[in-house]
Structure 1
Amino acid sequence: MKPRYRLFLLLLVASLLLATDVFAQAATATPPAAPAPAATAANSPLRLNINLEGTDRPADLSVAVQLVLMMTLLSVAPSLVLLMTSFTRIVIVLGFVRTALGVPSAPSNQIIIGLSLFLTFFIMGPTFDRINTEAVQPFMNKQITSAEAFDKGAAPLRDFMLKQTRTSNLEYFLQLGGYGPTPVKDLPMRVVIPAFVLSELQSAFQMGFLLFLPFLVIDFLVSSVLMALGMMMMPPNVVSLPFKLLLFVLVDGWRLIVQSLVQSFS
């Protein structure tokens, strides 16, 4: 037998003998005594116990269902801000102002969206205060259940949307949904929300049309003057842009636009 095979067999026999000795000692060893309860409590890690026995409050949804609803609400929160508040009208009108001036990159999209959000919070302030008073605070104080808080929190938003919604749009969606004559207090949210969004789009485009008129007059005047002077190769937008900006600054355009937007929701 070659020396390397002989060495391999010796190592294999030694490993088997060592393993047999270890198993024999483990089998004959006496199990250690259990530690005292005090020592176990002292050495055990900290644990968090969650008690789900809500006997001192009205029946509510389970914790798992509330977590799922909360995660769903957080995921659709941007859509709620866009479609159920004044944000839609404001951001569209501000976008029309930028386009009418002929400067598509000033102010930037971040500034337009930021200003729209702050104006939305300003306009929706009384509605948000009602939601906090009638739904959020009672729910945090364990006075109402989550379902009741949702119903009471949706009521102020519903009142705001109905105030800004055209009757023709409500009737149109009631007809599409197959509803009969329905009182205003019984209108479902799946009818109120799309009718409100459609009304907001109509109002925003009407305001945008009125914003375009003075700037369109300036473009006509500049084009006519350039045509009369024979400067047909000169782009009219380049010449009319300073006059548009001058007119906008002289009439304090941003203040007038913000004032019109805020008053349109009153």
Structure 2
Amino acid sequence: MRLTRRLLTMAFAASGLLGAVPAHAAPHGLGMSSDVVRTALILTLLAVIPSILICMTSFVRIIVVLSMVRHAFGMPETPPNPVLVSLALFMTAFIMSPTLTALNNNAVQPLLANRISVEEAMAKGTVPLRDFMLAQTRDADIEAIYAIAHATPPDRPDQVDILKLAPAFMLNELRVSFTIGFVILLPFLLIDLVVSAILLSLGMMMVPPATISLPIKLLMFVLIDGWSLVLQGVLGSFR
């Protein structure tokens, strides 16, 4: 039940991307807050939730960092993709919990109780997501997207178009995740260089360095509680 509520919450939050249905397009006597319209809107938005989850939440940063950790070991298939995606989803739900709670309280519950219209739910639902993305996004990224679109950047943060804020947010997430990944890769690179130098000095040029370095990297990662440190570092990078 909680997972379904969160999915519906994210669906209504992203409905601001689709815009409101014109009043003249609706049949006579059918209000925008009717059960039929709301049900159709919810079912439609549920289809785009995967894209919303990737583009407008912390999922991008988390999954990229976890993938870099996997490649740093030299094991591109371990941990398997379902494990990393599941971990990233749970961490995303943890980070986005205040935002989703605000969405649920301000937009979803009032709409389901028929206290506000669909248009009002759309307007209120985009505010928490916009605030979250603005808190993570640099002004330079927003200006770059507006420059690509040949548009003038707005004077106030609340005037930023959400269709331009989403790609700017993703640019920032990729930049931060690659920065974290660089810091993670350095110790593993050092181990590979040391092992290669030792094997070369011993004349064991036919022995693949990865065969020796992999157990050492795994042992080091376990001893320092690496997964916990990585997750703490990723969580600490969000504002």
**Which TM-score tier does this pair reach, normalised by the shorter chain?**
0.7 to 0.9
The CA deviation at 1:72 is: 2.3
Identify if the C-alpha distance between structure 1 residues 224 and 258 changes in structure 2 by more than 3 Å, giving closer, same or farther.
same
**Normalized against structure 2, the TM-score is what?**
0.84
Aligned pair partner of 2:113 in 141, 144, 153: 141
Question: Aligned pair 1:126/2:98, yes or no?
Answer: yes
2:146–2:152 CA contact under 8 A, matched in 1:
yes
Rounded to whole Å, the distance in 2 between the matches of 1:107 and 1:90 is 15
The CA deviation at 1:223 is: 0.2
The CA deviation at 1:264 is: 0.7
Rounded to whole Å, the distance in 2 between the matches of 1:176 and 1:107 is 38
Question: Aligned pair 1:218/2:195, yes or no?
Answer: no
Residues 32-70 of structure 1, C-alpha deviation per residue, up to 9 Å, x if partnerless? xxxxxxxxxxxxxxxxxxxx968xxxx525655544432
Question: Aligned pair 1:237/2:196, yes or no?
Answer: no
Residues 165-190 of structure 1, C-alpha deviation per residue, up to 9 Å, x if partnerless? 11111001112223224121111111
Paired residues for 1:26-105 under 5 Å:
59-60=31-32, 65-105=37-77
Letter in 1 for 2:120: E
Query: Unaligned stretches of 5+ in structure 1?
Result: 1-51
2:153–2:160 CA contact under 8 A, matched in 1:
no
- Equivalent position of 2:14 in the other structure: none
Rounded to whole Å, the distance in 1 between the matches of 2:153 and 2:238 is 27
Question: Aligned pair 1:209/2:182, yes or no?
Answer: yes
Rounded to whole Å, the distance in 2 between the matches of 1:62 and 1:144 is 11
2:70–2:79 CA contact under 8 A, matched in 1:
yes
- Equivalent position of 1:49 in the other structure: none
The CA deviation at 1:139 is: 0.9
Rounded to whole Å, the distance in 2 between the matches of 1:160 and 1:71 is 25
Letter in 1 for 2:53: V
- Equivalent position of 1:159 in the other structure: 131
Runs (4+) of structure 1 exceeding 4 A deviation are: 61-65
Higher relative contact order (CA 8 A, sep 6+): 2
Residues 3-53 of structure 1, C-alpha deviation per residue, up to 9 Å, x if partnerless? xxxxxxxxxxxxxxxxxxxxxxxxxxxxxxxxxxxxxxxxxxxxxxxxx96
Question: Aligned pair 1:191/2:164, yes or no?
Answer: yes
Identify if the C-alpha distance between structure 1 residues 187 and 248 changes in structure 2 by more than 3 Å, giving closer, same or farther.
same
2:195–2:213 CA contact under 8 A, matched in 1:
yes
**Normalized against structure 1, the TM-score is what?**
0.76
Larger radius of gyration: 1
- Equivalent position of 2:229 in the other structure: 256
SS in 1 for 2:48: helix
Rounded to whole Å, the distance in 2 between the matches of 1:228 and 1:75 is 58
Aligned residues between the structures: 211
Rounded to whole Å, the distance in 1 between the matches of 2:29 and 2:138 is 48
Percent identity between the two aligned chains: 45
